[in-house]
A and B are shown apart, each in its own frame.
Chain A
Amino acid sequence: GDSVTQMEGPVTLSEEAFLTINCTYTATGYPSLFWYVQYPGEGLQLLLKATKADDKGSNKGFEATYRKETTSFHLEKGSVQVSDSAVYFCALSDLRNTGNQFYFGTGTSLTVIP
């Protein structure tokens, strides 16, 4: 079945460091891929998404490219800030094969220190 495997955390970086959080997926069809961010005590917010192979999603300096050949959707940011400290979730949805179900990774906690 469909699934998402996400890099385990926690991750601690200094401000202005480069961030990569790995995400790989398994899907029978052609899923859409998402990155969500969750701040403490809040719900999840969409960070970026890509709906087909080779698409690049980007938002607030974060980027991720949908790589079908490696079944990956790694999240990157060139220079992190303290305000980026949060938990990041990779997710997939395969509307044609599994309907409206979403599959989430286990989340990666990021702490950015000044």
Chain B
Amino acid sequence: DGGITQSPKYLFRKEGQNVTLSCEQNLNHDAMYWYRQDPGQGLRLIYYSQIVNDFQKGDIAEGYSVSREKKESFPLTVTSAQKNPTAFYLCASRPWTSYNEQFFGPGTRLTVL
């Protein structure tokens, strides 16, 4: 059963701690993305990666870091430098050479206490 998994669904952390959000896909997609969504707001792009070992900053990359060591995995680290990290985080993937859509994971809700 192909798809994108994000874990955990809910995550709580204390202020000042780094936290890593997991994103795994078994769709054999080349491109992967991280978005942030705040209540009542649209999606804002944090980082995206088009191939392994390469990634680009999106609109709000400050305070976040990513890695892409494997095609199927694109973890996002929310660092203590991120001023307001409480949000809903969405991971997505897409095949490279097509006009296909992005496929989204179920999201992780991060709450920093």
Name A's B-contacting residues (CB within 8 A): 32, 34, 36, 41-46, 49, 51, 89, 91, 93, 95, 99-102, 104-107, 109
From A42, A44, A49, A99, give the contact of B50 (CB < 8 A): A99
Report whether A51 and B99 are in contact in the complex, using a CB–CB cutoff of 8 Å.
Answer: yes
Specify the chain A residue showing the minimal Cβ separation from B44: A104
Name B's A-contacting residues (CB within 8 A): 4, 6, 31, 33, 40-43, 45, 48, 50, 90, 92, 94, 96, 99, 101-107, 109
Report whether A44 and B99 are in contact in the complex, using a CB–CB cutoff of 8 Å.
Answer: no
Report whether B104 and A45 are in contact in the complex, using a CB–CB cutoff of 8 Å.
Answer: yes
From B96, B106, B107, give the contact of A100 (CB < 8 A): B96
User: Which residues on the B side are within 8 Å of A89 (C-beta)?
Assistant: 42-43
From A34, A100, A105, A107, give the contact of B48 (CB < 8 A): A100
Task: How many A-B residue pairs have C-beta atoms within 8 angstroms? Tell me.
Answer: 54
User: Which residues on the A side are within 8 Å of B104 (C-beta)?
Assistant: 36, 43-45
User: Which residues on the B side are within 8 Å of A93 (C-beta)?
Assistant: 99, 101-102
Further contacts, 16 of them, CB under 8 A, given A42-B107, A99-B50, A104-B42: A36-B101, A43-B4, A43-B92, A43-B104, A44-B90, A44-B102, A44-B104, A45-B104, A46-B103, A93-B99, A93-B102, A101-B48, A102-B94, A105-B42, A106-B42, A107-B42
Specify the chain A residue showing the minimal Cβ separation from B90: A43
Q: How far is the CB of B7 from chain A (nearest CB, A)?
A: 13
